[in-house]
Structure 1
Amino acid sequence: MLKVLLISCCIVFFLLMSRLVERLVRDLAAKRSVSEFRVEYITKITRFALLFCVVAVICLLMGLGYGDVALFLSSIFAVVGIALFAQWSILSNITASVIIFFGFPYRVGDRIQVLDPDAKLCGVITEITMFHVIVRLDDDNTVTYPNSLMLQRAVLKVNGEPALAPPEETTSPQ
């Protein structure tokens, strides 16, 4: 009877925390003018992490030993880790997407310049997705820039013309 009560409490805890997390994410998104797609994405990720923790606690409450639960979780992590190692860039872009949601100082509609020596990227952010930031360039072309690179490069918020001209290639006389 006690186990059933504790498991019921875990389920209620999960439901309450899911709603609380969703409300907090939506409030933060409203303050930062984030798209509904991003809100749903972040909410799903946090709900999945919370569910994972609650399932582990319920397994322990049902009498599975720490070793059994640890073996099960480490097996899941090993399989997921091997699968994601093959797609490392996908994992890094998803992680960068979460970081961008909570800490990126620029929002949709801001005019930015990415100081990337390999590419001239100056324009308006039109969307921030799970894997990349979409920027409409000054010549009306659209560029998708990976989230992980957006965090690795210096990004300037500009009001008019680009703050810095991209480095020009010089050719030496031969």
Structure 2
Amino acid sequence: MVEFIQTNMLFKQILFGCLLILGYLVIKRLGRRWIEALADNKRVSFKRTQFVVKAFNVIAFGLFISFFLIILDVGFGDVSIFLSSIFAVLGVALFAQWSILSNLTASVLIFFVFPYRIGDRVKVAEKDEDISGVIIDITMFHVILRHSSGNIITYPNNLILQKGVTKLVAQPSTQASSPALEAKQ
């Protein structure tokens, strides 16, 4: 009888494990399609799209492993000790590199919520400098602008989320002549 219960429990674990793997693969595929469709809609570069897809896959894999360990009935104490050790090492390693990590995180946020796209003319609210121009690229670490003077400005992603950004509209040319004005001359 005990052997039957253990076999039945093992069968359930295998069944739930297979369903979890199938669910993981479906979520991974649907997530990738959704991110790529969003990237096409926002005219995002291929490299940046691949970065966001990889970040999504890492998070999905972490959740998959967590659920898989729960299904295998691995003790919470064992897993928590292992994860706390990993996070302690990562925390110490990344503390010195916080700006890199914040720029990468800001890149993902810009991908999903930044209201401006490549080709838009914007001005960043910076009191000391004229940070304005046309967005020519949004990379993992910088938003790249072409200033009206022709200069290229690279502005860090984490700062562009902290500053006010104004979308500039094309101003009508004051030099343009009208047929009525030409007739008077």
Corresponding residue of 1:77: 87
Corresponding residue of 2:71: 61
Corresponding residue of 2:178: none
In the alignment, the residues of structure 1 paired with residue 113 and residue 143 of structure 2 have an alpha-carbon distance, to the nearest angstrom, of 14
Matches within 5 A, 1:1-174: 1-160=11-170
How far off its partner does 1:33 sit? 1.8
How far off its partner does 1:59 sit? 2.1
Corresponding residue of 1:171: none
In the alignment, the residues of structure 1 paired with residue 91 and residue 39 of structure 2 have an alpha-carbon distance, to the nearest angstrom, of 30
Supply the AA of the counterpart residue of 1:77: F
CA contact (8 A) 1:60 1:69 kept: no
In the alignment, the residues of structure 1 paired with residue 36 and residue 90 of structure 2 have an alpha-carbon distance, to the nearest angstrom, of 29
How far off its partner does 1:116 sit? 0.7
Supply the AA of the counterpart residue of 1:62: L
Supply the AA of the counterpart residue of 1:140: G
How far off its partner does 1:137 sit? 1.3
Supply the AA of the counterpart residue of 2:90: V
In the alignment, the residues of structure 1 paired with residue 84 and residue 20 of structure 2 have an alpha-carbon distance, to the nearest angstrom, of 22
Q: Which structure is higher in helix share?
A: 2
In the alignment, the residues of structure 2 paired with residue 92 and residue 152 of structure 1 have an alpha-carbon distance, to the nearest angstrom, of 12
Relative to the length of structure 1, the TM-score reads 0.86
What are structure 1's unaligned runs of at least 5 residues? 162-174
Greater displacement, 8-17 / 41-50: 8-17
What are structure 2's unaligned runs of at least 5 residues? 1-10, 172-185
In the alignment, the residues of structure 2 paired with residue 17 and residue 138 of structure 1 have an alpha-carbon distance, to the nearest angstrom, of 44
How far off its partner does 1:118 sit? 2.8
Aligned-residue RMSD, C-alpha = 1.4
| SS across alignment from 2:130 | strand
| SS across alignment from 2:54 | helix
Q: List, as ranges, runs of 4+ consecutive aligned residues in structure 1 with deviation greater than 6 Å.
A: none
